[in-house]
Amino acid sequence: MRSVEASERTEPYQGHVNRPVRVSPEIAEFLHMLNSLENRLVEKANGTD
C-alpha cells in the first residue's frame, strides 16, 4: 500500500490531493480556491485562442 502512495507522489498536482494533508481547514480551503481559480483562468485562456 505504501508503494502505491509513493508512486502517486510523483504527480505534481494530484499528489497533495490523494495524500492526507495536515493543514488547517482555512489553508485547505485557500488551496482549493486557488485550484478553482487556476482552472477558471485556464478555461478562459483556452476560450480566447
pTM, two decimals, is 0.45
C-alpha cell at 18: 490523494
User: Has residue 17 been placed in a domain?
Assistant: no
- Specify the 3-state DSSP secondary structure of 10: coil
User: Has residue 30 been placed in a domain?
Assistant: yes
pLDDT digits (tens, 9 = 90+) for 36-49: 999 999 998 888 75
User: Has residue 29 been placed in a domain?
Assistant: yes
Number of domains in the chain: 1
User: Has residue 41 been placed in a domain?
Assistant: yes
User: Has residue 12 been placed in a domain?
Assistant: no
- The predicted pLDDT at position 24 comes to 87
C-alpha cell at 46: 483556452
- The predicted pLDDT at position 6 comes to 52
- The predicted pLDDT at position 5 comes to 52
User: Has residue 45 been placed in a domain?
Assistant: yes
- The predicted pLDDT at position 21 comes to 57
User: Has residue 32 been placed in a domain?
Assistant: yes
User: Has residue 13 been placed in a domain?
Assistant: no
pLDDT digits (tens, 9 = 90+) for 3-31: 555 555 554 555 455 556 577 889 889 99
Range(s) of the domain holding residue 36: 22-49
Residue 30 one-letter amino acid: F
